[in-house]
Chain A
Amino acid sequence: MQASSHITERQVGAVVISAIIGVGILALPRIAAEEANTGAPLVTLLGIGIAFIGLLLLTLLGIRFPRESIFEYGQRIIGRPLAYVFNTCLAVFFILLTALAVREFGEVITSAVLRRTPTEVTIITMMILVVMATRQKLLKFTYFHVFYLPFILVPGLAIVLVSLQNAELLNLQPIIGNIPARYGKGALTIAALFQPAFIVTLLIPAMQTPKKAIKSFLGGIFISGTLYMLIVCAAVAVFGPHEINHLMWPTLELARATTIPGDTLERLDAIFIIVWVVSVFTSLAASYYISINGAQKVFGSQDHRFISHFFLPFVFILAMIPKSVFSLYVFVEIVGIIGLALTIGYPFILLIVALLRKVRGEPHGNSSEVQETD
């Protein structure tokens, strides 16, 4: 009746943050330190930079086409058949991303808290939760992200703060990393962690003033990037660049290594994992939402809810493909890097072509409603 049906720029920022921070945060310090030892913060920064460029392209496109998402303006820029192929690729990629993330989540839960519970069960419960959330309209979906934002940021910051007591500055030196330090692959893998932020393309059309999206996107990347940096720094400073390589999930290990003074709770890892479930949920929901939307455009279907149910078994099957954590991380790396080509390359092509062909979107009228996805 009364509530404004537009999404504000702050809400978009919140969605960006909570979409980015997800399952990857646990393995992040290892990914960074494996390749570049003490240069891990630098690698992270590079990764953030790459992700930043990709998302910047996407946001610029969104501003140029303020009433459409990438699935729609893609058709106008490069023509229907080609865009159809890309849209399919995007949808498939995000389903794959969801599947791998949920599998990684399942692995963490299974090895850290619920040791005897089958991974399948944790994966299914989480996916049901995600499906239930993605059936909502975009506005309500945004609310989920906004509300959970503190539950995503605070535990991360708390872990960083608590672990400061064990940090050693020497572990972060030299900043560029001891030889041999390879930045490339690590940076790409880290940039791939930012991919769920692709959801901005769906949010921009629902904003009142899409021009402001650039602000919210900058803020979102800044905050999530800062948290990532802090966590990498903290983990490397506490464990040292070599110990991290022995740890499957260093961020979790940070939580395990610290106790709250005063002997109230002795181990924080369970608490941390549990709160981390929230950030996994929001980030999974974001990437799943993208794939549902893409599929909707590909199938030309209006039934958003049906698709969200329909994809569930696929995600589950895909999630069960990797045999162990080791092969899972190989998959994550490959899919992440291929995905970067898609999530950065495709917007790049679109933007170039749009500039060359001088295609523009219709101006954003105030009367336009939130995209009805229900």
Chain B
Amino acid sequence: MIRFRNRKKPQKNPNLTTRRTPGTPEKLTGCLESDLMIVRSCLGDSDDIEIRHLHIFNEFQGVIIYYTTLVDTLSIYRDIHKPLMYKPRHLEDKSIHLDNLMDTLMNETLYISETARVSDGADILDAITEGSTVLLIDGIPGGLVLDTRQIEKRGIEQPQTEHSIRGPKDGFIEVLDSNISLLRARIKVGDFRIKIVRIGKRTKTRVALCYIESIANPKLLKEAEKRLSKIDIDGILDSGYIEQFIEDHPYSPFPQVQNTERPDKATASILEGRVIIMVDGSPFSLIIPAVFNQFYQVTDDYSERFIMGSLVRFIRLLAIVFSLIFPALYVSIISFNPEMIPTDFAVAVAGGRAGVPFPAVVEVLLIEVSMEVLREATLRLPQQIGGALSIVGVLVVGEAAVGAGFASPITVVVIALTTIGSFATPAYNAAISIRMLRFPLLIAGGMFGLYGLMIGLIIIMNHLLFLDSFGVPYMNPVTPVSKQGLKDSLIRGPLWSFKKRPSHLHTLDDDRLGYEGVPKAEPVLQSNKQGE
């Protein structure tokens, strides 16, 4: 087994939120002109910056600064300009001093719900770049940050990558706050916590840790925070960036962090005691820790009744195994151990392969690679063309390859089954790692037959057993065995049998159910009939 060492993360500035662009002053002086000079020098002369002078209550010199492209201009006009220019009626006969002007504005004048006083120049710049409006007043050091941010967002739609037959249809979008609201709407307890940190020197992306405080293991939380705080990068454009910085074994082919677009899945994970990491600008939230099991489970399993859920899950697992070993198995049997297949069939297979110029392993490799190319091409094309292409690819190319004596019909069948099998894996990242691992297996099988295949499988399994995700053994609950966990691994046990949360998460509160045993329904209808 190749052992991947933990990569040494470079030492970072521990003070994440107060990182500043070079050259900014510590404090604002209170002198409007010099303060403005400072702001101008930092923001430069972008055309979308608006610096508007105004007389507050006709008495004080003030200025509001914002980016026109980031704010809700209507709100600025209605909730800031208007109340600042016209002294509200209840204040008309009061005289306001410079000293308590800020408080009066915050508490009695402005119609903005989120306001804050800041004195730090850097904070003011941060606020502006994020879409807030900053109010500076002559004579008062520091300014008032008013939340007027408004950015374009799409509506909440069905998740594109994770379909479900039965279950909620909403999906995360790019805006962090909307995503959090989707979660908040589902978990209605006070100890559902959101911790937001900003990551990325230039993008200052908001990254939220979501968890239930009375469930999640504090050690896990601390570890997650620690790993996040060590990230020092220009920009975070997607949660995938975060994933690559916090995973345990970056050289492993297997994903150690799960991602989801589905709020219900995220909620379920939070309830299990996991931590969700959401990134502003990405509809994919990360679930930590992740074990191998999670990659073939889907929410439908839980929505359907447990027997069917188990069977479907079993089929999915079969598909994973298929997509991993089928080509290698085929090659090993055809080229090394043809004694295993029935004689009639062996003779027929030999007939099918009779004209093919390559050894089976080369043939399978060629077709596999072209299949991968086809898959990737279909993915990148616009949807309408993609559908057409896949049909053309599979039917026409496959048929022609056989007709041309380029491949044997059975090879095409094997490849088709393999490809379909790999599509049955719900998690795209896991599916792709398995899909890629089948190539080394295929080569091993082509070299040493079944023995090579087995050695390859042992290496993969050893690697899986060696992996950890945030300290949780990756093959949990199969190894180390956890009885409770096994109920929700290969099979999906009845919901009322999940008495405890997964033990490998070491949750603070591990009871899931309020009662013991099988819930029994009262025979309502029958008793009614007797009453009639």
The answer to whether A and B touch in the complex, with CB atoms under 8 Å apart, is yes
Cβ < 8 Å to A, chain B residues 509-524? none
Closest to B475 in A: A147
User: Which residues of chain B are near A372, meaning CB under 8 Å?
Assistant: none
A136/B1 in contact, CB under 8 A: yes
How many chain B residues sit at the interface, stated as a range, is 35 or more
Report B384 CB to chain A, min CB distance, Å: 43
Q: Is B337 an interface residue (CB 8 A)?
A: yes
The CA-CA distance from A271 to B339 in the complex, in Å, is: 11
Report A265 CB to chain B, min CB distance, Å: 5
B217/A2 in contact, CB under 8 A: yes
Q: Is B121 an interface residue (CB 8 A)?
A: no
Which of B340, B342, B451 is the one whose CB lies under 8 Å from A114? B451
Count, A-B residue pairs, CB within 8 A = 104
User: Which residues of chain B are near A1, meaning CB under 8 Å?
Assistant: 219-220, 223, 470-472
A106-140 CB mask vs B (1 if < 8 Å, else 0) is 00010001100100001001100100110110001
User: Which residues of chain A are near B459, meaning CB under 8 Å?
Assistant: 129, 132
Most buried by B among A11, A135, A270, A281: A270
User: Which residues of chain B are near A143, meaning CB under 8 Å?
Assistant: 465-466, 473, 475, 479-480
Q: Is B145 an interface residue (CB 8 A)?
A: no
The CA-CA distance from A299 to B342 in the complex, in Å, is: 56
A2/B472 in contact, CB under 8 A: yes
Q: Is B505 an interface residue (CB 8 A)?
A: yes
A262-294 CB mask vs B (1 if < 8 Å, else 0) is 011111001101110110010000000000000
Report B485 CB to chain A, min CB distance, Å: 13
The CA-CA distance from A135 to B504 in the complex, in Å, is: 24
User: Which residues of chain B are near A277, meaning CB under 8 Å?
Assistant: 451, 454-455, 458
Which of B2, B340, B453, B465 is the one whose CB lies under 8 Å from A144? B465
Report B454 CB to chain A, min CB distance, Å: 5
Q: Is A221 an interface residue (CB 8 A)?
A: no
B337-348 CB mask vs A (1 if < 8 Å, else 0) is 101111100000
Q: Is B449 an interface residue (CB 8 A)?
A: yes
B462/A267 in contact, CB under 8 A: no
Residues of A within 8 Å of B, CB-based: how many? 37
Cβ < 8 Å to A, chain B residues 271-305? none
Report B463 CB to chain A, min CB distance, Å: 9
User: Which residues of chain A are near B466, meaning CB under 8 Å?
Assistant: 136, 140, 143
Cβ < 8 Å to A, chain B residues 471-508? 471-473, 475, 478-481, 504-506
Q: Is B336 an interface residue (CB 8 A)?
A: yes
Closest to A133 in B: B462
A117/B505 in contact, CB under 8 A: no
Q: Is A8 an interface residue (CB 8 A)?
A: yes
User: Which residues of chain A are near B465, meaning CB under 8 Å?
Assistant: 140, 143-144, 147
B340/A2 in contact, CB under 8 A: no
B451/A3 in contact, CB under 8 A: no
Q: Is B379 an interface residue (CB 8 A)?
A: no
Cβ < 8 Å to A, chain B residues 294-348? 336-337, 339-343
Closest to B337 in A: A270
A117/B448 in contact, CB under 8 A: yes
A267/B479 in contact, CB under 8 A: no
Closest to B471 in A: A1
Most buried by A among B3, B341, B458, B481: B458
B504/A2 in contact, CB under 8 A: yes
User: Which residues of chain A are near B340, meaning CB under 8 Å?
Assistant: 265-267, 270-271
Report B451 CB to chain A, min CB distance, Å: 6
A146/B479 in contact, CB under 8 A: yes
B231-269 CB mask vs A (1 if < 8 Å, else 0) is 000000000000000000000000000000000000000
The CA-CA distance from A129 to B465 in the complex, in Å, is: 14
Q: Is A10 an interface residue (CB 8 A)?
A: yes
The CA-CA distance from A50 to B462 in the complex, in Å, is: 33
Which of B336, B458, B480 is the one whose CB lies under 8 Å from A278? B458
User: Which residues of chain B are near A265, meaning CB under 8 Å?
Assistant: 340-341
Cβ < 8 Å to A, chain B residues 440-464? 448-451, 453-455, 458-459, 461-462
The CA-CA distance from A10 to B505 in the complex, in Å, is: 21
Given A8-B480, A146-B479: A129 and B449 interface contact (C-beta under 8 Å): no
B450/A11 in contact, CB under 8 A: no
The CA-CA distance from A267 to B473 in the complex, in Å, is: 37
Closest to A256 in B: B339
A135/B480 in contact, CB under 8 A: no
A109/B451 in contact, CB under 8 A: yes
